[in-house]
Structure 1
Amino acid sequence: MSAHSPMPRSAWMFPALAVLLFAAVSATGYVFTLSLGGLVFAIVLLVILFGTVFAAVHHSEVIAERIGEPFGTLLLTLSVTIIEVALITTIMLGDKPAPELARDTVFAVVMIVCNGLVGLCIFIGGLRYREQGFQVSGANVYLSGLIALATITLIMPNYTLTAPGPFYSTLQLGFVDLVTIVLYGVFLYTQTVLHRDYFINQTGDEEGGGSHLSGKMLALSIVLLLISLLTVVLLAKKFSLVVDAVAALIGAPPAFAGLLVALLILMPEGVSAIAAARKNDLQKSINLALGSSLATIGLTIPAVGIATYAFDQPLVLGLNPQNTALLFLTFLLSMLTFGTGRTNVLFGLVHLVVFAVYVFMVFVP
């Protein structure tokens, strides 16, 4: 949504409802249970939580139009990452510890983004424009960082000797957290300072056009963005209870929780990426998609690692052979897809097929 449009009601209404819901739950000491009342609460919570996440992304977009690319996309990515870290750590350290949730969520994000979202954007763009272009240099920067980080965090733990896989020892995890943050920091410097032109639409439309946004509206969006992020973090505990209850009710496999969390945090960003592809701005779609994957590993894994160390909880990171094969296939396809600077319908369909296989294997491993 353009920053020039009037602020939609949902952009301030859902953050306000989230604040009221958290205040009501805290004041009454409400405890979620599987009952009719619990079902109503779960529906209300999910609607408000989804709405608040969308509101956070809207305000991020408003601010992003003012500051221009690639800083705008970076702000969107960081906002979503804050929500992701809050949800993962809350569920992992809840009443029913889930040491594998971070791994499942990070892997789900990579699969959803690099196959589902990228595939859908390319497919839609291919149907509408036959071919779409983007900066190969920028895509290569994303992929090089993503492949390195994914291998270090999701595959290497299965082959360490100090601690039996799929775990890292405390010293190993600390070192991995450090190099992960350093690598992501260098990527940010490359994206925002050193090679900004790699991540900007080839038409040269670098500025978001938000210079006409009033200072009052900008300040309001900043405040509402902070409120949205804070309320999502505060409601994460109740969301974790709902996830546990739903998973137990339908007999879902452990990876279902990671998939659900990933879908929640990626849905608003995915809508923005698809809208950009429909407007023939595949570069922005790639920035949103691959940037969110890179931020998920580069920021989420270190944050969760620090949290699990502080609370003395185990952290499972290594993927099983089946998921390792899917990850390898995803990166191989991505290198081919982003290797020429032009995409078409077939590239998108191939990624969508791989995503369908991933979702099917979650429920029928």
Structure 2
Amino acid sequence: MNQKLFFTALIVLFVLSGVSHYAHFGTVTEFIISAIAILFVAGFLGKATESVAHYAGQRLGGFLNATFGNAAELIIAIFLVREGLFSMVKASITGSIIGNLLLVLGLSVFLGGLKFKEQRFNVQLASHNSSLMILSVIALAIPAIFISTQHFSTQQSKMLSITIAVILIIAYILWLIFSMVTHKDVLADKEETTPDHGEDPAWSKGISILFLVLATVMTAFVSEWLVGTLHTFTADFGLSEVFVGAFLIAIVGNAAEHSAAVMLAMKNKIGAAVEIAIGSSLQIALFVSPVLILVSTLFGPTMDIVFTPIELTAIAVSVFIAKSISSDGRTNWYEGALLLIVYVILGFSFYLV
């Protein structure tokens, strides 16, 4: 799709999504229009972050792409928290983590592997990412075990959830300092000797930053319109909040990472693709979910950090296979296929819940 056609479709869908919301076209129509609109808005967000990444460099660019790619999910989740839909929020967090580790990374590795026999990225970065992924599983599992087995009071659960949330945010900030400042050179992707491959950015630096801000604002509006349809939509189709949160919302919210990571992998920039996919999962687990717990205190009842056994199992399985595949710093199409197979298995299992 050329740029002019893309922007035309983006503006039309954004306006149509707003009109359908305020004119009350009907839940199903509103949901479909808003879901398609947010895909285009997320694509716009992805293009803007990729353009900014050209000026910022591959590692920082990958971080920016993951951060602004997660903006859609964070904004959607904040609106869900405001509505008190805590179980759907936790399901969407679960879906974001497994979606990035299995679907985004899987598609990137698979399609990149079809074009290039073997792709390589920094082994040390893979090792640190694996350790952080295991930390995220531990941090999410501990409160679930203690609160359920020790029968904590509401006040104790709230205290534990807020404490762990603050600790996770500190851990994430320390990781950014380690990876972006003190050990930046060690973790650089040495496989990419010409990271931009001689390509010109889509827009100038100023326009790229402006579009990044504009795309984030558009995401906020469309996210609110989409969330407004979820109550009725799940009831009409007999879908569980867990499935809607873990797969429908996560897939829609991950659209920016999908497009950017796959495009980079197919340009043999697998290091940046892995940084987006795994980095985004880490950001969701170590930053977004703790922030949502702290934000929930502003709206009334505090959301706890207790995930269900099904959600914890899905996250642990995703982390395990993603760690196994990425630990050697080399990928091929078959490893991508394995990630996608696990995603389909989890998807069907969640659908039956």
Shorter-chain TM-score category? 0.7 to 0.9
Give the distance between the partners of 1:148 and 1:301, measured in 2 at CA: 14
Letter paired with 2:14: A
Runs of 4+ in 1 over 6 A off after TM superposition: 165-168
1:80 paired residue among 46, 69, 74: 69
Partner of 2:10: 14
1:304 counterpart residue number: 292
**Deviation at residue 260 of structure 1 after TM alignment:** 1.6
User: For residue 18 of structure 1, what is the amino acid of its counterpart?
Assistant: F
C-alpha displacement at 1:90, in angstroms? 0.5
Note if contact 2:28-2:233 (Cα within 8 Å) is conserved in structure 1. no
Q: 2:130, 2:323 within 8 Å by CA — same for their partners in 1?
A: yes
Rounded to whole Å, the distance in 2 between the matches of 1:201 and 1:55 is: 29
State the TM-score, normalizing by the size of structure 2: 0.87
Q: Which amino acid aligns with 1:320?
A: T
CA deviations on 1:304-357 (whole Å, 9 max, x unpaired) are 112211112242533333443333332222232122222233322322221111
Do the aligned residues in 1 keep the contact of 2:161 with 2:305 (CA within 8 Å)? Answer: no
- Structure 1 letter corresponding to 2:46: V
Mapped to 1, the partners of 2:270 and 2:261 lie a distance apart of 8
Query: Contact 1:122/1:277 (CA < 8 Å) preserved in 2?
Result: yes
- Aligned pairs for 1:275-286 within 5 A: 275-286=263-274
Q: How far apart are 1:58 and its partner, in Å?
A: 0.9
Normalized against structure 1, the TM-score is what?
0.84
The question of 1:114 aligning with 2:101 is answered yes
1:217 aligns with one of 195, 201, 204: 204
Q: Distance in 1 between matches of 2:50 and 2:153?
A: 41
CA contact (8 A) 1:273 1:285 kept: yes
Q: Tell me how far 1:40 sits from its aligned partner.
A: 4.1
Q: Aligned pair in 2 of structure 1 residues 17, 201: CA closer, same or farther (>3 Å)? A: farther
Compare 166-175 and 351-360 and name the one that shifted more: 166-175
Q: Does 1:292 align with 2:283?
A: no
Aligned to 2:142: 156
Question: Would the alpha carbon gap of residues 98 and 342 (structure 1) be closer, same or farther in structure 2, given more than 3 Å must change?
Answer: same
Structure 1 residues 179-188 or 325-334, which shifts more? Answer: 325-334
Q: Which runs of 5+ in 1 are unaligned?
A: none
The equivalent of 2:158 in structure 1 is 170
**1:30 equivalent among 10, 22, 27:** 22
* 1:64-79 equivalences in 2 (<5 Å): 64-79=53-68
**What RMSD in Å do the two structures reach over aligned CA positions?**
3.0
Residue number in structure 2 paired with 1:145: 132
- Measured in 2, the distance between the counterparts of 1:228 and 1:82 equals 10
Give the match for residue 215 of structure 2: 228
Q: Which residue of 2 aligns with 1:129?
A: 116
Please say if residues 98 and 318 of structure 2, whose CA atoms lie closer than 8 Å, have aligned partners that are also in contact: yes
What amino acid is aligned across from residue 14 of structure 1 in structure 2?
L
Gap change, CA 1:71 and 1:308, over 3 Å in 2: same
Contact 1:67–1:208 under 8 Å retained in 2: no
- Contact 1:120/1:348 (<8 A) preserved: yes
Equivalences, count: 349
Single out whichever of 220-229 and 198-207 deviates more from structure 2: 198-207
The letter for the 2-side match of 1:93 is R
CA shift, 1:159, in A, is 1.7
1:242 equivalenced with 2:203 (yes/no)? no
2:62 touches 2:275 (CA, 8 Å); kept in 1?
yes
CA 1:360–1:43: 2 relative to 1, 3 Å: closer
Which structure 2 residue ranges, 5 or more long, are not aligned?
none
Whole-angstrom CA distance in 1 between matches of 2:283 and 2:273: 15
**8 A Cα contact 1:12 1:55, kept in partner:** no
Q: Does 2:45 match 1:56?
A: yes
Identity across aligned pairs (percent)?
A: 19
**More contact order relative to length (CA 8 Å, sep ≥ 6):** 2
Aligned-pair distance for 1:81?
2.2
How big is the shift at 1:298? 2.2
The one-letter code matched in structure 1 to 2:161 is L
**Is the Cα–Cα contact under 8 Å of residues 11 and 59 in structure 1 kept in the other structure?**
no
Match of 1:252 in 2: 239
SS of structure 2 residue aligned to 1:111: helix
| Aligned equivalent of 1:265 | 253
2:317 aligned counterpart, secondary structure: helix
Amino acid at match of 2:142: M
2:168, 2:290 within 8 Å by CA — same for their partners in 1?
yes
Question: Is 1:352 aligned with 2:340?
Answer: yes
Q: 1:283 to 1:167 in 2, by over 3 A?
A: farther
How far apart are 1:19 and its partner, in Å?
6.6
- Separation (CA, whole Å) in 1 of partners of 2:54 and 2:156: 41
CA contact (8 A) 2:158 2:304 kept: no
- Structure 1 residues 286-295 or 218-227, which shifts more? 218-227
Structure 1: distance between partners of 2:31 and 2:311: 31
